[in-house]
Amino acid sequence: MNDRLQTLDAGTAYGGAGALAQRNRVLRNTYWLLALSLLPTVLGAWIGVATGITANLTGGIGLLVFLGGAFGFMFAIERTKNSAAGVPVLLAFTFFMGLMLSRLIAMVLGFKNGSELIMTAFGGTAGVFFVMASLATVIKRDLSGMGKWLMVGALAILVGGIINVFVGSTAGMMALSVLAIGIFSAFMLYDLKQIIDGGETNYISATLALYLDLFNVFQSLLALLGIMGGERD
């Protein structure tokens, strides 16, 4: 009887160690792929600013191109996440997002202190990520219940953003930016906790979720800084 109990305890311990190793592997691969995904984003943004290829994507046309491209890529990523094509498709998506971001970056660079604003937004986004990653490792509570409420908030931002494309309200843009920073910072904590707790086992899906969190925080912070702190010549 004692031998059976010892065997059961050893099997349980081995299973627990295996699950922990799996979670650590997913987290490590996610961080590496997330860092790699920033390179196509920077390249896409640089090409967009240098060529002005997205300068004419304004109003409804720009919205359709962005939503169509983004959701098309996200669908493709989910379909290929378990195959060798998953990583290239994800990197192509991040390049596309860099292109879409280039219009905002070009506008901010039009300010006298544009470069400083971009670096501030980058530093602020990195700071948010560091704080959320630290919190995710120390919070023991299950945060899976946050997901549905955060999704409602993200949908509200999406609808508000679509409306504001046609309204063109600066105050509306500021309100949406502040809301987006809060919602996607919380999403960052939620997504990191999902990986740490074993709720997300595919590192490509995990990278996509964290990338979208970072992208939205950076974009919203940059828009807010441009509105409030942009200095014209």
Kindly list the domain boundaries of the chain, sorted by start residue: 2-229
Lowest mean pLDDT among 99-103, 140-144, 186-190: 140-144
pLDDT in tens, 154-201: 999 989 888 888 887 888 889 999 999 999 999 999 999 998 888 888
pLDDT value for 100? 92
Average pLDDT, the chain: 87
Please state the three-class secondary structure of the chain as a single string.
CHHHHHHHHHHHHHHHHHHHHHHHHHHHHHHHHHHHHHHHHHHHHHHHHHHCCCCCCCHHHHHHHHHHHHHHHHHHHHHHCCCCCHHHHHHHHHHHHHHHHHHHHHHHHCCCCHHHHHHHHHHHHHHHHHHHHHHHHHCCCCCCCHHHHHHHHHHHHHHHHHHHHHHCCHHHHHHHHHHHHHHHHHHHHHHHHHHHCCCCCCHHHHHHHHHHHHHHHHHHHHHHHHHHHCCCC
pLDDT in tens, 54-72: 877 776 787 888 889 999 9
